[in-house]
A and B are shown apart, each in its own frame.
Chain A
Amino acid sequence: MHDLINRWISRLFNRGPGRSRSRPLFALAGALVGMAAAIAVTGLWHLGATAQPSDAPVELTMLLHVPEAQQWRTIADRFEAENPDLRLKIIEGPSATNAIEDLHTAAFILGDSPYDLIYLDVAWVPKFAAAGWLMDLRDRLTPAQLAEYLPGDVAGGRYRDGLYRLPFRTDMGMLYYRKDLLAAAGLEPPETFMELIAASEQLQRSQGVDWGYLWQGKQYEGLSAMFAEVLAGFGGFWVDPETQAVGLDEPAAIAAVEFLQRTIASGISPPGTTTYTEPETLRLFRTGNSVFLRNWPYVWNEVNRPDSPIRGQVAIAPMVHAPGERSGACQGGWGLGINRATRHPEAAWRALEFFGRADVQKQFVLENSYVSSLRSLADDPDIQAAYPQYRTWVEILDNYAVLRPPVPQYAQASDILQRYLTAAFSGSMTPTDAMAAAARETRSLLGTA
């Protein structure tokens, strides 16, 4: 046997007269073709194994960040129960929303995104729509149906003339405060920035509270959202959507940065604020050692859990503002869009319709303290009983909503603002220089330099 193989190999590679110059080449070519055939067969077999038979339930895939993925369990199960021919597979992603954005982007760039439904933050819509990754939904809804949603949320789903996102839930930034601490010191909830500082300082001195005002200052998207509110509170603006003018180097913006810088410098806010995102500030607030917290509606359920030390002691108010200006509440909010390259567009639309139904939204709101985008739920008696401040939330949004710039290059504009804000907070640049540089870079980004 051994001998046979030896002879075969030596014949294959023996350079005899005439034919053998091309023998090794033939051998190599044969080997390569064989390898290619093996790979092709394996690939096709794998494809065949994963192809669904035509009568199997259609499976829709969606990517959600972990905290919300768990909250969606009940309504996802209800969706599958009411639609036996559809399945909803929720893939859990990181809790940082810019990581989810990157995952979606990577999947879309590869050209074969596995996600049929896209859970969209309001800030992503212009970028995803401009890149042509989302299905246009404008013909699927009548204006009457759209009017049932809060107008800010619907606007957040538009890009140019198309509608790419159906609102699911809305979000707005607000001020949480310890009503027991304020009452003990005989103070009213603050309405202006100066009142906030004064109340914090007084309570830190007299009641021995550790921290006055907690906010998110890390270099991430939440910083832009938080800053948009303070900016609006001083009467400033970031980017005007009509004229594309940049307002970051105006006096109002510089005053906003100086206010935030002052909270850290005077000890009202912890020095670590420049590393805090929402979970860190919530954790600090829950220990009971702080008076004020700027955060989103989900905090309400968290601080009122049975094991929370500050259960029942928390109230909410719109963010503070400068005298003569209005409060600002950064409009967040999430909605559902459809991947333009999905293999199941009709099934995906049915899912969107289901999750936009009033009873499904009501169930979701009652289980988690989120705010639905449907206007009618604000009048629902069950919701009012569970969340007495629900009306306040909707009012804050109606009156004080601040949108972040709805431009496709929003990610880069936000990065620019984040970098220069953290430079100002850490003291490596003065607020004036930092904001001037931020304005300059944003103008050259938008092409309005």
Chain B
Amino acid sequence: MPPSPSRSRTWPTVFLFLAPAIALLLLIYGYPIARSLGLSLMTQNLGTQLEPQFSGLGNYGRMVGDGRFWHTLGNTAVFTIAAVTIELVLGLAIALLLHRKFWGRGLVRTIAILPWALPTAVMAVGWAWIFNDQYGVVNDLLQRLHLISGPINWLGDPALAMVSLIVADVWKTTPFVSVLLLAGLQSIPDDLYEAHAIDGATPWQSFWAITLPLLMPQLAIAVLFRFAQSFGVFDLVQVMTGGGPAGSTETVSLYIYATVMRYLDFGYGAALTVVTFLLLVATVAIAIALLGRRGLRQL
């Protein structure tokens, strides 16, 4: 693109038009991050009468030995990776289904988006009852199908509680992924499939050769969005298990919430927030680096 002759005159104007938006972003994103950074260098808890006292890197040192923090990070990682993987596969399958023409497709598409539209906290209560050991639907179904002999204590067993959480989260957010991927599917021209079929390819081969590569940008977006959202999951876990038996479903956001709101340990909570934020940014940066420059331009 040749440089415009008036470029030197338009840049300040462009910047001025962007200024309000940039100011708003700085206020909403930049200020809390900066404040957390500052607060993480202080000690402010009930021991200091809720007055901030400068303590340098003391909070970070405390975090290194805090087993509960690393445990919650592990829980969050397990939850995120499992949930996002299942959602991608299921979301893609549903998107492929919804891409075909069939009678009632509009209605099915609307119903398919419903789980995403329902409030998480309310549905979390519903899911807790579904997985209840005495009165729950899951146990009832499994027992009627003779797959289990006695009721399973879903939310009382550390491993099964995580499974229940993942099921509830997959149910809730798969529609989001499927809508994203459906939009991507609709942008793939049909002639490609026709040409491929004429050359003698099976639908399965078309899927691998045409659909998946052309869907890469949407897949990447879906993974990035879902990863960031899943990492910060709070309402579903808090309402369904409250951190679960023996803290086995406690995610990072629950721990930070408890530290700040229940223990009133603001300085340490800020330090936890900063570290979590940096970890998340690092992960996303690695993902973008793996995507490569070409992938970025496609996005």
Query: Are A and B subunits of one complex?
Result: yes
Restricting to A47-93, which residues have a CB under 8 Å from any CB of B? none
Residues of A within 8 A of B19 (CB): 28
Contacts of B34 in A (CB 8 A): none
Residue A132 at the chain B interface, CB threshold 8 Å:
yes
Sorting the interface of chain B by its residue count into under 10, 10 to 19, 20 to 34 or 35 or more gives 20 to 34
Judging by beta carbons under 8 Å apart, are A28 and B158 in contact?
Answer: no
- Contacting residues of chain A (80-114) with chain B, CB-CB under 8 angstroms: 98, 101-102, 105-106, 109
B247 contacts A13, C-beta separation under 8 Å: no
CB contacts under 8 Å to B, within A248-289, are 270-275, 284
A296-304, A390-398, A409-417: which lies at the B interface? A409-417
- Say whether A411 contacts B263, CB under 8 Å: yes
Inter-chain CA distance A351–B263, complex, in Å, is 30
Complex: A409 Cα to B248 Cα, angstroms: 23
Q: Residue A130 contacts which of B12, B13, B46 (CB distance < 8 angstroms)?
A: B46
What's the minimum C-beta distance from B78 to chain A, rounded to whole angstroms? 15
Other-chain residue from B20, B46, B50, B155 in contact with A409 (beta carbon distance below 8 A): B46
Q: How far is the CB of B57 from chain A (nearest CB, A)?
A: 19
Mask: chain B, 248-286; 1 = CB below 8 Å from A; 0 = not: 100000000010011110000000000000000000000
Give Cα A32 to B50, complex, Å: 36
Chain B residues near A411 (CB-CB < 8 A)? 262-263
Residues of A within 8 A of B248 (CB): 428
Of residues 143 through 168 on chain B, the ones whose CB sits less than 8 Å from some CB of chain A are 151, 153, 155-158
Taking A13-B13, A422-B246 as contacts, is the C-beta distance between A272 and B151 under 8 angstroms?
yes
Q: Identify which of residues 129-153 in chain A touch chain B, using a CB-to-CB cut-off of 8 Å.
A: 130-132
A415 near B153 with CB under 8 A, answer no
Q: Tell me if B58 counts as interface (CB < 8 A to partner A).
A: no
Contact (Cβ within 8 A) A284 B134:
yes
Q: Which residues of B contact A420 (CB under 8 A)?
A: 246
**Interface pair A132/B153, CB less than 8 Å apart:** no
Q: Does B80 contact A (CB under 8 A)?
A: no
Alpha-carbon separation in the docked complex, A423 to B248 (Å)? 9
> Are B262 and A102 in touch, CB under 8 angstroms?
yes
List chain B residues, Cβ under 8 A from A408.
46
Return the contact of A275 from the options B49, B153, B246, B258 (Cβ within 8 A). B153
B156 and A101 contact, CB distance less than 8 A: no
A169 to B258, CA, bound (A): 28
CA distance A412 to B245 in the complex (A): 16
Q: Does chain B have a CB within 8 A of A220?
A: yes
The contact of B261 among A102, A422, A426, by CB within 8 Å, is A102
Residues of A within 8 A of B13 (CB): 13, 24
- A219 close to chain B: CB less than 8 A: yes
Q: Which of A272, A412, A423, A429 contacts B134 (CB 8 A)?
A: A272
Inter-chain contact A415/B262, CB cutoff 8 Å: yes
B91 within 8 A of partner (CB)? no
Would you call A275 and B132 a contact (CB within 8 A)? yes
Q: How far is B9's CA from A409's CA once the two chains are assembled, in angstroms?
A: 61
Provide the residues of chain A in CB contact with B46, threshold 8 Å. Answer: 127, 130-131, 408-409
Contacts of B155 in A (CB 8 A): 275
In contact, B246 and A220 (Cβ under 8 angstroms) = no
Q: A127-B46, A132-B50 are in contact. Are A426 and B156 (CB under 8 A)?
A: yes
**Which B residues touch A106, using CB under 8 A?**
261
Closest Cβ–Cβ distance, residue B156 to chain A (whole Å): 4
Name the contact of A271 in the complex, choosing from B133, B244, B258 (C-beta under 8 A): B133
Is there a chain A Cβ closer than 8 Å to B221's Cβ? Answer: no
Let me know if A105 and B261 touch, CB within 8 A.
yes
Query: Is there contact, CB below 8 Å, between A271 and B156?
Result: yes
Q: How far is the CB of B37 from chain A (nearest CB, A)?
A: 19
Assess A219 versus B133: contact at CB under 8 Å? Given A272-B151, A415-B262.
no
Interface residue ranges of B1-52 to A (CB < 8 Å): 9, 12-13, 16, 19-20, 46, 49-50
Q: Which residues of A lie under 8 Å from residue B134 when comparing CB positions? A: 270, 272, 284
* Residues of chain A in range 16-42 having any CB-CB distance to chain B below 8 Å: 24-25, 28, 31-32
Which chain B residue shows the least CB distance to A24?
B16
Task: For B175, list chain A residues within 8 Å (CB).
Answer: none
| A428 and B12 contacting across the interface, CB-CB below 8 Å | no
Complex contacts, B262 vs chain A, CB 8 Å:
98, 101-102, 105, 411-412, 415
The yes or no answer to A15 lying at the interface (CB within 8 A) is yes
> CB-nearest residue of chain B relative to A424?
B246
**Minimum distance in angstroms from B124 CB to a CB of chain A:** 13
Residues of B within 8 A of A158 (CB): none
Q: Which B residues are in CB contact (< 8 Å) with A31?
A: 20
Residues of A close to B217: CB separation below 8 A? none
A-B CB proximity, top 7 nearest: A423-B246, A272-B133, A274-B156, A422-B246, A411-B262, A275-B156, A412-B263
Pairs across A and B, CB under 8 Å, 14 listed: A15-B9, A24-B12, A102-B261, A102-B262, A106-B261, A219-B243, A220-B242, A275-B132, A275-B155, A275-B156, A412-B263, A415-B258, A422-B245, A428-B248
- Excluding A219-B245, A272-B133, A426-B158, 12 further A-B contacts by CB distance (< 8 Å) are A13-B13, A127-B46, A131-B46, A219-B242, A219-B244, A271-B133, A273-B156, A275-B155, A275-B156, A419-B243, A423-B246, A426-B246
Residues of A within 8 A of B (CB): 13, 15, 24-25, 28, 31-32, 98, 101-102, 105-106, 109, 127, 130-132, 217-220, 270-275, 284, 408-409, 411-412, 415, 419-420, 422-423, 425-426, 428-429
